[in-house]
Structure 1
């Protein structure tokens, strides 16, 4: 999929499409005592620049978030990488629990939707840095060989920033 890095709309559309298609990434609170991100399944809402995650109120991440914290969600595929920053809050939202509930989610919550510890995390996205590789593996090999032969750096794509405000 070719994306025009100079087009904010193209990059933003690709960001949301990639997360929706491959919905797993690493989520973590910035400046937290634990400092480790963890794998989470993401449910995107592009119109509101939000990403939702299921969790339990008794997890370390939920305790770390408390009333809200700055957080980062990192999403990576073969030719696409993104780091999204924003504010993460706990939200027990029955409408979204119903909307995003599926067999995979249900496997993690044996008590079902009625589990009193079931909650969601909402990431209100502030900004993102997006890296997109262009041309696939053949172009990558060519650019590496050319860079080594000419003592230059390879041109395999680019990066751009998004501000959601």
Structure 2
């Protein structure tokens, strides 16, 4: 596994770069395609995060979404393409935060490739709805937290640590550089 220097402060830190980072991203997204998509800009003084579903993940870690061309999210991206994505895999207590840049297009070929039956809820005219746009998110860095053995075992280890006062290994975390 390709790693960045392990930090001496903790044995549970494993920083990943390149292919190993992309593998971590793909593993998380493949098992939990829902995320919070947060732009760097908000026009209405509210939090600029909203739930989104990843439609596709490329071999290089690029993530693809469908969005309305006239949405606040798209206006925010047009103002500043920097964004963050937040994923959680509840069954194993894994978390992922990604930072990167977003691009918006109305590429019909990509819209057709990403289309699924759920998209009709937002785009009732189907694949040819003139409001559909594609968001391409290109990750550059991030951070992950992984219990390694699932939520149940991590919980039991934490309880053991509380009872005995001993430090227990409940997982691993690290920086990602794509």
TM-score (normalizing by structure 1):
0.84
Residues 113-124 of structure 1 aligned to structure 2 (within 5 Å)? 113-124=127-138
Count how many residue pairs are aligned between Structure 1 and Structure 2: 160
Please say if 1:70 is aligned against 2:93. Answer: no
> Larger deviation: 76-85 or 12-21?
12-21
1:136 corresponds to: 150
Aligned-pair CA distance for 1:40: 0.5
> Larger deviation: 143-152 or 105-114?
143-152
| Structure 2: 5+ residue stretches without partners | 1-13
1:61 and 1:11 map into 2 onto residues whose CA distance is 27
Aligned-pair CA distance for 1:68: 4.3
Please say if 1:49 is aligned against 2:79. Answer: no
Aligned-pair CA distance for 1:144: 1.7
Contact map agreement 2:99 2:139 (CA 8 A) in 1: yes
RMSD: 2.2
Residues 15-164 of structure 1 aligned to structure 2 (within 5 Å)? 15-33=25-43, 34-66=46-78, 68-78=80-90, 79=92, 80-164=94-178
Runs of 4+ in 1 over 4 A off after TM superposition: 5-11
Contact map agreement 2:41 2:77 (CA 8 A) in 1: no
2:71 and 2:41 map into 1 onto residues whose CA distance is 17
Q: Larger relative CO (CA 8 A, sep 6+): 1 or 2?
A: 2
TM-score (normalizing by structure 2):
0.78
| Structure 1: 5+ residue stretches without partners | none
